[in-house]
Structure formats: C-alpha cells, structure tokens
Chains A and B, each alone.
Chain A
Amino acid sequence: MAIHKSLFASLLICLLFQISHGATKERLFSDLEKGALEVTAKPSREGVLDAGIDKLSITWKLSSTATKEAEFTTIKVKLCYAPVSQVDRPWRKTENELFKDKSCPHKIITRAYDKSPQSFEYTLERDIPTGTYFVRAYAVDAKDHEVAFGQSTNEAKSTNLFSVQAISGRHKSLDIASVCFSVFSVLALLVFFVNEKRKAKIEQSK
C-alpha cells in the first residue's frame, strides 16, 4: 500500500508539472490571420511520393494582403493532413484551440523571418505515414505565439494536395530472424514432447 501511495504521489507531481506547463494555451486558430504568406509545395515527381526518397520544393513569401508583418520573427513550416487522411482517425483531428490541434504534426523547417521569398528543398522523412498532405507555414512572434499562416492549398483544403506512401519498415534480415526463431520454438517443443513420451514408455516397460 505504501509503495502504491508514493507511486501515486509522484505521478501527481509529474503530471502537475505537465499541466502547468500548458496551462495558458487558449489561443485559437480562427484568430490567426489567413493567407498572410503565399506558400507553394511542388512535388519532385508526379503520382504518389515515396517517404525517405522523394522531395518537395517549398517556397513561401509575404502576401500582399498581410497586415501583422511587424510581429513576424520566425516562420514554422509544417506538413499537414488533408481531410481525407483525417477520417476515422481522431488522433489527427483539427481543433480550433491551437495547443490541441493535431492536424499538422510534422515539422519541415523553422527559419527566421525574412522579407524576401524563401524556398526549401524538403526530402520526405522516413517516419511520414501514408496519406494525403498539404504544407502550411505559421508566422510566429517573439513570444513563440502563432499570429498568421499561409498554406499551399485553399481554405477547404481540397486543391494542390499530394499523396505520400510510407516506408514499409520491413527488412529482409528481420524476416529471416523471425522465421528462424519461430522454427526453433516449435522444434524445441516437439523435441521435449517426444523425448518424454519415450522416457515414459521405457518406465512402463520396466
């Protein structure tokens, strides 16, 4: 019981730290300035892209309609899920509260804000899952709060989307090891079984 009490207490302390860390994040996505940046994302080839191999050519520049430009200190470019990849997957849900939003989990690059048009050649990481994506760039102020954004697709997230096929994660060496261990397991059991049956028969005939 005492062990359990101290476990519970230490759990509480750890978690209180976590909670207080994220306590004040009530900032909403709908408050951000839309279309402040013009973002394009061009895949290196047609069709479904392969994670770990294919690239995206990403460019972003200040849009003529932007008003909060003075606050921009950093630009965070992220890979976001298109609605079709969010269906029946609540862990990728779009939420208005920024700290809860899970639709843009993959970081592409973070750069200090520069007035001139920027570009970046992004090789799709090997842990990108299979899905349909677009690119979004958040403009962040000095307090690390998002103030504006721009994305490579329209507001309904239906245009300029691209698909990615994830790596399988399989490897021949794994497959071989798997088969070897399996065979060993079954064989070992059989050997024991047959051996004991034989010993019991010998016992009986004595």
Chain B
Amino acid sequence: MASNEEGSIGTSLHGVTAKEHVFSFSADASSQVVPSNDPTSKFALPVDSEHRAKVFNPLSFAKPHMRAFHLGWISFFTCFISTFAAAPLVPIIRDNLDLTKTDIGNAGVASVSGAIFSRLAMGAVCDLLGARYGTAFSLMLTAPMVFTMSFATGPVGYLAVRFMIGFCLATFVSCQYWTSVMFNGKIIGLVNGCAGGWGDMGGGVTQLLMPMVFHVIKLAGATPFMAWRIAFFVPGFLQVVMGILVLTFGQDLPDGNLSTLQKSGQVSKDKFSKVFWFAVKNYRTWILFVLYGFSMGIELTINNVISGYFFDRFNLKLQTAGIVAASFGMANFFARPFGGYASDVAARLFGMRGRLWILWIFQTVGALFCIWLGRANSLPIAILAMILFSIGTQAACGALFGVAPFVSRRSLGLISGLTGAGGNFGSGLTQLLFFSTSRFSTAEGLSLMGAMAVLCTLPVAFIHFPQWGSMFLRPSRDGERSKEEYYYSSEWTEDEKRQGLHEGSIKFAENSRSERSRKIALADFPTQETGSQTVV
C-alpha cells in the first residue's frame, strides 16, 4: 500500500512495522549510518518512533511539542478562570440578582454540569478533528457565553449563563489529548500533571483576579452592580485571544496538522462508533470516571464554595477570603505535576501497580484532610487542613492521568473525555448533595464530602491489567495475555487487524513495556531479543 510507505516515517495512529526494531539491537555497521533524510532530526527535542518527545522542557516554546504543551495548558487555564469567575464575586452578584442560597448552589452545580457532556463530546472531536480545533471550538464558542453574563437579571439567567460557560471545561480533554500525542509514555505522567495542574491553577487565580478587576472598575467610577458585569469581559477576551493563538501557532500532531496528514494518507480516520464502543466496554474507564469524580470533582466543588465558606464562617473580608481561596487552587502549580511525577517514579520501580497504589494513597490522604477541614474550628487549623487537602487531592488528579493513557490506545481521546466528564459529574453530585440545601452547614458538607471521597476511592483496587497486574494481584501468567500487544490489539477486530489498522496500537504496546516493574522487565529481556530475531 502506498500509504505504508508514507507510514514508515512513523505517525501516532498508523505506524511502522516491527521490522524497525532489528536496527536497534543489531551491531551491523551499516545500520549505524543515519539516513540523510532522517525525519527525527528536524525536531528540537529527542523523539521516539512515534515522534513523541522523550524529554520535557517547560522553558522551551519549540514547535511542535513544547508549543502544544504551552498552548494547551494556557487555554485550559483561561477556561478555568471563566468558569469560576463568578465564585469570588458571589457576595456582590447575590445582592444584584437577589439570589438565595439555593439559587447560588444550583448555579454552582450547573457551572460544572455542562462540561459532563462537552468533555464527552470533546474526546470524539479530538479523535476526529484534532486537538487544535477541539481547543479552539471550546474557547471561541463559549466566549460569547462569558460576555452574555452582562445580560443576567435574576437567578434563572445567572444559572443559564454559568451552565453555558461551564461547557468550556472541555478544554481539559483537548489539552490532555494534545500532550498525550506529543509526549512519550515514560514522561506522560509528569507532562499531563503539569498541563493539568497549571491549567487548574486558573481556579485559584480567578479568586484573586476577579475581585481585583472588580475593584479597579469600581475605582474607575462604575457602581458595584455594573462593575461585576464589566469584569466578566476580561476572561471572555482572554478566551478569544487564546483561541486565535492556538489556531495560529498550534499543530495537532508531531508531524503536522490532522487534516493535512489525513488527506495525504498518513493518518487513517477511525470510526467513531468503534472508538466509542471500546471506550465504554472497558470497565476501567468507569472506575476512572468515579475516581476522578472524587479528586477533580471535589476540587471543582471547593473552587465554588471555599471563598464563601471562609467569608461567612470566619468573618474574613472579601479580599482575604479570596486570598485563602486562591491558595487552594494555586497549590496546583506543583501538587498536580508532583502527582504525575510520583506516578512516573512509581512506574519505574513497580510498574503500573506502583501507579495504582500512588493514586489510591494520594486520593485517600487528600479526602481525610477534607474531613479535617470541615471539622476545624479555628482559622489557622482550617487553612492548614485546606492546604494539605489541596496537595493530596491535586496530586491524585495528576497520578490518575499517569494511568489513563494506558487504559486504551484506540479510544484515548474518548477515555480522557469520559474521565474528565466524571470529574464534573462528581462535582455536580457533591454540590447538589452537600452544598445546595440548608440541611447541612457548609462545614458539615465538607466533612461529609471527604468521607464520601474516601469510600469512592476504594474501587481503584479493582483496576487490573492482565499484562501488569493490579494493586493486589500479580500480572497474568498466561503467555499470550501477559503481553502488552495482546491487550492493545484486542481493541481491534480480526478484520481490522488483517488490514493492518492496528499497527499504531502495536507500536504503542511496545513503547508501553516501561509499565512493567523493573524486576519483571529485566527478567524478560532475553524474550525481547528472541522476539525480534524471530522476525528477522
């Protein structure tokens, strides 16, 4: 097939055949000569056979890898600012729009619910249109919603606008997808952790930014009830700017944009129904859905309620409550990347089992500190509990996305989408149960939410990979099922395998051998050699 010739350069979805490995183990002198048209030399960073970067350099903006990283996380950051822009201004908004606690609670639920659907859709959009358009759609189609906040006159309008703005949280999926196709599996935990964490920081920055913008606009002469509406133009404008930057400077895949690669036959289009089916059929997807609901989910809930909690319970001023609330979100700067990094380190030592244990530990510890936060009666203890809680929960988010890229290769986008949707679902659920009624005080709600999170983290013990094991079980002893290739090629039907459509998954399977624990990987080394020699 002509497309095979093109494919031999190596793209993330339609890759080379296994023959390539002969070169990496052979001592033949002729193979040492690097062909003059070696495509990997055109990248600023060292890349693997799929042209994904093997090194992460956050200070660089080189295309395509680091540029994608920066555009991705900043877009996501901007969307977080917009989604939670209302939260620190609620004390003003509730007076202007005559809101009750129920109205505010419901709007908080609405602000995270929209993204349940948009994150699902985004997974598919990325698979089909590429990460750039996924991000740009999310940014530029929800910017009008942010501007529309200036029209709100009552609880219904407020809720509707917050619901629609919330759709932009789908950029999380496009951002994680973009980094997953740009960076190699060995560092994906750290990269996804940084992108996710620095993006999530937007939830913290907005608690500082919006009151500040509001204050400046008031100084310029506007009344409070008009100033908060004008303040919303800032996040809206940022979204439009980011959307244009993403479309101008971004690139979907290491080798080019999706539409160009598809038209030239280098990347094959997959069928959405198949992608969807394999994502949904995989039980691990749903466990991740629940887990993320109680790490990211409670983080989103906290973004909505924590400023008001400190304002009302400890009688802090609006700006002070904003500073405290901001420090929760800002911890994301290092906490989430740390979680991803810890996951990568655990994988190096213990393989996938290490990743799963790290995930459980961080998430449970974070939830325990959440229980403590609700029970703290003095301000310093509450702040201490909140900071420890934020570190635990955010590290868990990072650790989870060290696991997610390995659940499926074919349906990577959709699984990111489903997991992300789970985060929003968890947030909507916890806000609805604990923070929208007068049944629990906010303090009680926090402790109950923490307890629920401890319970809902237990399912991580059930995630089992036949080739790598689970928290309590060893990998399968069966010769065939214990191979990564078996797991990843089981997502393709026999027909499709005959057509060679699964070769990208095989490529990925070989690169994912890093998820075996060090002991097993070393013991297996002779078999790898024999494997490639048989091909020769």
Contact check, B225 vs A189: say whether CB atoms are below 8 A apart: no
Residues from chain B with a CB closer than 8 A to the CB of A1 are 334
Contact with B along A77-116 (1 / 0, CB 8 A): 0000000000111110000000110000000000000000
- Among the stretches A26-34, A133-141, A148-156, A165-173, the one at the interface with B is A165-173
Chain B nearest Cβ from A59, distance in angstroms: 27
With A1-B334, A14-B320 as known contacts, state yes or no: A196 contacts B259, CB within 8 Å: yes
Complexed CA–CA distance, A108 and B257 (Å): 63
Complexed CA–CA distance, A179 and B137 (Å): 18
With A11-B383, A19-B379, A169-B96 as known contacts, state yes or no: A178 contacts B315, CB within 8 Å: no
Chain B nearest Cβ from A127, distance in angstroms: 5
Contact with A along B133-151 (1 / 0, CB 8 A): 1001100110110011011
Complexed CA–CA distance, A171 and B320 (Å): 30
The count of A-to-B residue pairs whose CB atoms sit within 8 angstroms is 144
Chain A, residue nearest B311 (CB): A91
Contact check, A185 vs B240: say whether CB atoms are below 8 A apart: yes
Contact check, B101 vs A127: say whether CB atoms are below 8 A apart: no
Contact check, A88 vs B95: say whether CB atoms are below 8 A apart: no
What band does the interface of chain A fall in when counting residues whose beta carbon is under 8 Å from B?
35 or more
Contact check, A170 vs B233: say whether CB atoms are below 8 A apart: no
Chain A nearest Cβ from B97, distance in angstroms: 9
Chain A, residue nearest B324 (CB): A11
Of B140, B151, B244, B327, the residue contacting A11 (CB under 8 A) is: B327
What band does the interface of chain B fall in when counting residues whose beta carbon is under 8 Å from A?
35 or more
Q: Counting CB contacts under 8 A, is B521 at the interface?
A: no
Contact check, A175 vs B151: say whether CB atoms are below 8 A apart: yes
Contact check, A87 vs B223: say whether CB atoms are below 8 A apart: no
Of A130, A189, A197, A204, the residue contacting B136 (CB under 8 A) is: A189
Contact check, A203 vs B264: say whether CB atoms are below 8 A apart: yes
Contact with B along A172-206 (1 / 0, CB 8 A): 00110111011111101100110011001101100
Chain B nearest Cβ from A10, distance in angstroms: 10
Chain B, residue nearest A169 (CB): B225
Q: Counting CB contacts under 8 A, is B353 at the interface?
A: no
Contact check, B147 vs A11: say whether CB atoms are below 8 A apart: no
Chain B, residue nearest A181 (CB): B147
Contact check, B100 vs A87: say whether CB atoms are below 8 A apart: yes
Q: Counting CB contacts under 8 A, is B226 at the interface?
A: yes
Residues from chain B with a CB closer than 8 A to the CB of A16 are 380
Residues from chain B with a CB closer than 8 A to the CB of A185 are 140-141, 143-144, 239-240, 243
Chain B, residue nearest A205 (CB): B263
Contact check, A91 vs B312: say whether CB atoms are below 8 A apart: yes
Contact check, A15 vs B102: say whether CB atoms are below 8 A apart: no
B221-241 with Cβ < 8 A to chain A: 223-226, 228-230, 233, 236-237, 239-240
Complexed CA–CA distance, A19 and B334 (Å): 30
Contact check, B148 vs A178: say whether CB atoms are below 8 A apart: yes
Chain A nearest Cβ from B80, distance in angstroms: 18
Contact check, B260 vs A174: say whether CB atoms are below 8 A apart: no
Q: Counting CB contacts under 8 A, is A126 at the interface?
A: yes
Complexed CA–CA distance, A192 and B320 (Å): 43
Contact check, B225 vs A127: say whether CB atoms are below 8 A apart: yes
Contact check, B95 vs A166: say whether CB atoms are below 8 A apart: yes
Of B101, B137, B239, B380, the residue contacting A15 (CB under 8 A) is: B380
Chain B nearest Cβ from A140, distance in angstroms: 20
Contact with B along A1-42 (1 / 0, CB 8 A): 100100110011011101100100000000000000000000
- Kindly list 19 other residue pairs between chains A and B, CB separation below 8 angstroms, not including A166-B98, A186-B144, A189-B136: A8-B327, A18-B317, A88-B100, A100-B315, A126-B224, A126-B225, A131-B98, A170-B150, A175-B150, A177-B150, A178-B147, A178-B148, A181-B240, A183-B144, A185-B243, A188-B244, A189-B137, A189-B247, A192-B136
The 6 A-B pairs with the shortest beta carbon distances in the complex, nearest first, are: A169-B225, A182-B144, A129-B95, A88-B100, A178-B147, A189-B140
**Sample (23) of A-B pairs whose CB atoms are under 8 Å apart:** A8-B384, A8-B387, A12-B380, A14-B323, A15-B320, A15-B380, A16-B380, A89-B94, A99-B315, A127-B223, A127-B225, A131-B98, A166-B225, A168-B96, A168-B225, A170-B153, A170-B226, A170-B229, A174-B230, A178-B151, A182-B147, A188-B243, A189-B243
B residues whose Cβ falls under 8 Å from a Cβ of A: 91, 94-96, 98, 100-102, 133, 136-137, 140-141, 143-144, 147-148, 150-151, 153, 223-226, 228-230, 233, 236-237, 239-240, 243-244, 247, 257, 259-260, 263-264, 311-312, 315-317, 320, 323-324, 327, 331, 334, 379-380, 383-384, 387, 438
